[in-house]
């Protein structure tokens, strides 16, 4: 994910995972944990991003039946950072119509050169191509 600070004068790349937390500190006191922490130049406090567990069950499975719907895949609490660009990495399981499964290390999306979202492709055990194309995203403030 690409992040910017509040006034958009600085940017950084953020790599984080739901099972990787770091301690937050303010005035040398622990303030809990976050999944990504950044100290912007000139700021006295740490900025951070936390993955939030949803209160309600979310529909996070994208199928042929709901291919025209937007699916929530990530909810984050951002303090002092603002997401500007998302890149799908890990934490994805892809199941083909024939039942073959691709997980985490097998799933590496790339940006489509035509600006049409992201693509993923592989070859199954039968030698046939399997792919996902036009994977789009939307960043929304809640």
| Cα–Cα distance measured from residue 84 to residue 65, given in angstroms and rounded to the nearest whole number | 29
pLDDT at 14: 92
Residues 131 and 104 occupy one common structural domain:
yes
pLDDT at 90: 66
| Cα–Cα distance measured from residue 125 to residue 102, given in angstroms and rounded to the nearest whole number | 12
Residues 5 and 75 occupy one common structural domain:
yes
Structural domain containing residue 130:
89-142
pTM: 0.76
pLDDT at 13: 93
Q: How many residues does the chain have?
A: 142
pLDDT at 98: 83
What is the block-wise mean pLDDT of the chain (142 residues), using blocks of 10 residues?
89 90 81 92 91 77 80 89 86 83 80 82 89 86 78
| Cα–Cα distance measured from residue 126 to residue 99, given in angstroms and rounded to the nearest whole number | 13
For 5-117, list the strands marked E by DSSP. Answer: 11-13, 22-26, 29-34, 36-38, 47-51, 76-79, 82-85, 93-95, 101-103, 110-111
- Look at residues 86, 104, 133 and tell me which one is the last residue of a structural domain: 86
Residues 56 and 76 occupy one common structural domain:
yes
Structural domain total, the chain: 2
């Amino acid at each position: 994910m690409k992040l910017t600070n509040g006034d958009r004068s600085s940017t950084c790349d953020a790599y984080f995972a739901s099972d990787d937390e770091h301690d937050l500190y303010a005035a040398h006191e622990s303030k809990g944990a976050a999944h990504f922490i950044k100290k912007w130049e000139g700021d006295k406090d740490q900025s951070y991003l936390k993955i939030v567990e949803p209160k309600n069950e979310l529909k996070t499975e994208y199928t042929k039946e709901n291919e025209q719907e937007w699916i929530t895949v990530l909810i984050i609490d951002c303090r002092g950072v603002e997401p500007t660009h998302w890149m799908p990495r890990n934490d994805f399981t892809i199941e083909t119509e024939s039942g073959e499964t691709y997980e985490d290390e097998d799933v590496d999306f790339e940006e489509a050169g035509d600006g049409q979202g992201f693509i993923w492709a592989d070859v199954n055990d039968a030698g046939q191509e399997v792919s996902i194309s036009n994977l789009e995203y939307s960043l929304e403030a809640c």
